Amino acid sequence: MTSSSRNDTPQNPEAAPSSTFRAKARMILAVNMGNSLEWFDWTVFAIFAVYFSNQFFHSANEVSNLLSTMAVFAAGFVMRPIGGLLFGLVADRRGRKFVMVLTMTLVAASSVLIAVAPTYDQIGVFASLWLLLVRCIQGVAHGGEQGGSYTYIAEVARPDNRALWGSTIIMSTVGGTVLATLLGALMRTAIDSDAMADWGWRIPFLIGGALGFFALYLRRGLEESAAFADHSNEDNEPITQSSARSALHDIWAQRGSILRVVLLVGGTSVFSYTWSVNAPAYAISFHHVNDKLAMWAGVAANLVFIAALPLAALLADRFGRRLNNIVWGLAVACIAFPLSGMLDDSARTLAVTMSLALVIQALAASTQVAWFAELFATKTRAAGIGIAVSLAGAIFGGTAPYLNSWLTSRGAADTFTWYVIVLALAAAVTAYFTHETKGIDLTEAKKTSQKTAARVD
């Protein structure tokens, strides 16, 4: 690609603002470093909850305190659709870069506020409220971040490798999970469990805040995508009450795409949070796996996940998005009970089980950034993706750790496994009935979204 391709042409209407490969690589690095660090901040909450839950909730039962902390974790997900809508509308009017900078600021600040939070012994129930409020702020920011980053990466990628470029967002998301888990393993190796529960849990939140502000510095140098630049040139009116109503009307017109994304993300998010994020803490609490070794098992399995993602994305760019997701749903339905049955008190078994689950997860996860962007028109792409992905995360993903722990504590672990199977099959059926968009020009996505809406209507 040469510099002359910077201006959109009929042959290449999606050319990046700066056409050199090096410039694109810098864009991808800035977006994904920020995304990784946002998910680091998000994930350390689940990873370290087993250590700090007693600091914010007052109960003689440690499992009860952990469940209360997981409920706060879920509350963050409840706020994400609000962030997806608010920041999505802004991203579709003011730009993807503007929103990614703003959400990065909120996430970094929230992480620092958790790090310095007072405990229940110091201020009583207000400590619980502090944790809940800050987590909700993070949830709003993450809802906006997903719409902005998904859209930006998809818009700067070429049509023939959009799933591969899009998979970098998922890789950086998993990378944030790996960094959080790796930090937990290193800290648990160096610090005993009493110290971790007393003060050690604050360290990852401080680190996350500091690195988040560094990522903010990198994102400030981003340029807007050409697809958004063309749209803003066509419709550069300021945001008003009337324009907001018009935007909401446009989003409602694409409710078919939103519903499909919710169903696709519903199954994958439950499976992901169960096996990528919560599995080590679950194994520690209910299978009595050594906590240090469980952390290392989580690191190893998520590294396998990262390696599998680009390979699965290549399949999606070659054979289409639908096939990957259909195979994922059928595979999860077949392997869900065997995976759950494999868990015991061995960290090695945990690593193997998580790795198997996450290789399967890569099939669907690798397609999502590209496929979702292809289902929406430019003027509603960030809002549509942000709302749909955040809503699915709130309903399904955010509640998964709590629901899994709660059912297991009552001897009903099989019920949760059936829940995973039903969601996986629903996602497979949704993929089967969703229009294939492999390789389309994003300027043609409006036509695709209209076809999808027509099917629903």
pLDDT in tens, 202-224: 998 999 888 888 888 878 777 77
Give pLDDT, residue 233. 52
How many other C-beta atoms can be found within 10 angstroms of the C-beta atom of residue 9? 10
Give me 298's structure tokens: 């989580």
Question: Please, which pLDDT band fits residue 268 given cuts at 50, 70 and 90?
Answer: very high
Q: Which of 22-36, 309-323, 403-417 has the highest mean pLDDT?
A: 309-323
Can you name the residues that pair with 9 across neighbouring β-strands?
12
The rounded distance, in Å, linking the Cα atoms of 203 and 218 is: 23
The pLDDT tens digits for 114-125 are 999 888 888 888
* Residue with token string 């396998």: 304
Q: pTM (2 decimals)?
A: 0.79
240 contacts 55 by C-beta, under 8 angstroms = no
349 contacts 343 by C-beta, under 8 angstroms = yes
pLDDT at position 420 over 50: yes
The rounded distance, in Å, linking the Cα atoms of 231 and 235 is: 6
How many other C-beta atoms can be found within 10 angstroms of the C-beta atom of residue 339? 21
The rounded distance, in Å, linking the Cα atoms of 238 and 187 is: 49
Give pLDDT, residue 35. 85
Candidates 430, 205, 251, 228; CA nearest to 328 is: 430
Give me 424's structure tokens: 């996986």
Mean pLDDT value of segment 261-268: 94
Domains recognised in the chain with CATH numbers:
19-227+251-456 (1.20.1250.20)
The pLDDT tens digits for 2-17 are 333 333 433 444 444 4
Give pLDDT, residue 239. 53
Who's near 355: CB < 8 A, 6+ residues apart? 300, 301, 304, 305
35 contacts 173 by C-beta, under 8 angstroms = yes
Q: 327 burial class (0-12, 13-18, 19+ CB within 10 angstroms)?
A: middle
